[in-house]
């Protein structure tokens, strides 16, 4: 196959005067674990459902392996979908749910049984094969839904926030399961999620959506370290965003603290991640700010300090929790700093 496995060409969806998804073009390669990340209402689920054939696009085309599937119904597309609520038949066992798609295809009994056994082994549910859906835990139901989609061997597996209903510990366990399944079968997965940790854990490529538009796409590390705008920097991980003005190639963050930054005179945002900020007068940093410590939050292996600048702006600082006992009292004046290459300057929209 030449070219990407899945292509979206100017795909858009409108409901009357409301545009849910603006014209969107994406290229997703074979074996990608691709994630669409964004807040509720940004259009990510609508985009996924258009790919699966459950929502007709207002314009644009969908190609899978070079074939145009834009007008095909879901059952005729080389895609499978795992829904947020799983969509399992409660009166059927795990085995019967997994076999359902192959039964509709009138697959021979011997081949069907072998395929179901393979799927049960893949999702580690051999011991629960004959349990009814209400007798299964949330994580087990999620695995059944995954196996039911995978047994049809779709070229593209679509995952619509499949872990949203699980508790934190179980979600983390299922992250490992999904990674292992993706590696084992070598398939192409497309995940929709509002959970940035989930996306960073699972995906090798990410598209960030906001207001019905893809505002940035790339590798998770690139999106985290080089966000395209203030929205991405704030949505993907924690970020300090300091509004300022660039005048004659200089940005003044506070009296006596300036950054050299070539560019036109205009309002900008200076973005710095909490883990990049060093704390204390002994820190050897190029950029230094005086602040007052107003809060300290223990978060297990690390802690967050909330500090306030003289300008009234707030800075979040991440430190090792082992250092928390050595911190000055709340209300104390502190010195913060970071190296010149660790911040990012973004033009304000």
How do residues 12-29 score in pLDDT, each as one tens digit?
Answer: 999 999 999 999 999 999
pLDDT at 1 exceeding the cut of 60: no
Give me the pLDDT at residue 283, please.
Answer: 63
pLDDT at 101 exceeding the cut of 70: yes
pLDDT at 45 exceeding the cut of 80: yes
Closest CA to 220 of 32, 52, 47, 68: 32
pLDDT band for 327, please (50, 70, 90 cuts). confident
Angle at 218 between CA 216 and CA 221, to 5 degrees: 110
Give me the pLDDT at residue 328, please.
Answer: 85
Lowest mean pLDDT among 217-226, 262-271, 279-288: 279-288
DSSP E strand boundaries for 273-324: 278-279, 287-298, 302-309, 314-320
β-pair type (287-298, 302-309): antiparallel
Give whole-number Cα distances, 292 to 183, 254, 282, 289, 313, in Å. Answer: 48, 14, 17, 10, 11
Q: Residue 135 in 3-state DSSP?
A: helix
Q: Is the full-model pTM beyond 0.75?
A: yes
Mean pLDDT to the nearest integer, 321-345: 89
**DSSP secondary structure string, 65-85?**
TTEE-TTS-GGGSSEEEE-TT
Give me the pLDDT at residue 76, please.
Answer: 92
Q: What is the DSSP letter of 265?
A: S
Question: Which residues have a Cβ under 8 Å from the Cβ of 239 and sit 6 or more positions away?
Answer: 227, 233, 271, 272, 273, 274
Closest CA to 156 of 122, 185, 179: 185
User: With b meaning 16 or more CB within 10 Å and e meaning fewer, what string describes 321-347?
Assistant: eeeeeebeeeeeebbbbbeeebbbbbe
What residues pair up with 37 in beta bridges, in sequence order?
Answer: 193, 208
Give me the pLDDT at residue 281, please.
Answer: 64
pLDDT tens, residue by residue, 215-252: 999 999 999 999 999 999 999 989 999 999 999 999 98
Helix (H) or strand (E) holding 185: helix 168-185
CB 191, CB 36: distance < 8 Å: yes
pLDDT band for 158, please (50, 70, 90 cuts). very high
What is the rounded distance in angstroms from the CA atom of residue 139 to the CA atom of residue 194? 19
- What domains are there in the chain, each with its CATH number? 6-229 (3.40.50.300), 238-347 (2.40.50.100)
Complete edge-to-edge strand list for the sheet that includes strand 18-28: 18-28, 6-15, 59-64, 67-68
Give me the pLDDT at residue 2, please.
Answer: 64
């Amino acid at each position: 196959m030449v070219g990407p496995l899945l292509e979206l060409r100017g795909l858009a969806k409108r409901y009357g005067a409301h545009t849910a998804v603006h014209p969107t073009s994406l290229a997703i390669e074979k074996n990608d674990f691709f994630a669409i990340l964004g807040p509720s209402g940004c259009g990510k689920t609508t985009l996924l459902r258009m790919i699966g054939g459950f929502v007709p696009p207002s314009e644009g085309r969908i190609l899978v392996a070079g074939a145009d599937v834009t007008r095909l119904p879901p059952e005729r597309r080389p895609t499978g979908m795992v829904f947020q609520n799983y969509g399992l038949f409660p009166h059927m066992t795990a085995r019967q749910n997994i076999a359902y798609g192959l039964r509709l295809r009138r697959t021979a009994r011997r081949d069907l049984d072998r395929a179901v056994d393979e799927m049960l082994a893949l999702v580690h549910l051999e011991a629960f094969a004959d349990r009814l859906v209400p007798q299964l835990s949330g994580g087990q139901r999620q695995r059944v839904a995954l196996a039911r989609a995978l047994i049809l061997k779709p070229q593209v597996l679509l995952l619509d926030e499949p872990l949203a209903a699980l508790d934190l510990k179980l979600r983390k366990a299922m992250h490992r399961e999904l990674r292992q399944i993706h590696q084992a079968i070598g398939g192409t997965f497309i995940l929709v999620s509002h959970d940035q940790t989930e996306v960073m854990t699972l995906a090798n490529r990410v598209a960030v959506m906001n207001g019905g538009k893809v505002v940035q796409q790339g590798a998770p590390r690139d999106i985290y370290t080089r966000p395209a705008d203030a929205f991405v920097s704030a949505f993907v991980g924690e970020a300090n965003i300091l509004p300022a003005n660039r005048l004659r190639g200089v940005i003044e963050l506070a009296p006596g603290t300036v950054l050299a930054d070539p560019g036109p005179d205009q309002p900008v945002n200076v973005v710095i991640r909490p883990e990049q900020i060093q704390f204390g007068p002994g820190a050897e940093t190029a950029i230094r700010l005086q602040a007052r410590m107003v809060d300290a939050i223990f978060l297990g292996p690390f802690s967050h300090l909330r500090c306030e600048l003289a300008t009234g702006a707030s800075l979040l600082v991440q430190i090792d929790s082992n250092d928390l006992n050595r911190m000055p009292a709340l209300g104390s004046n502190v010195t913060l700093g970071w190296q010149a290459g660790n911040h990012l300057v973004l033009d304000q929209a």
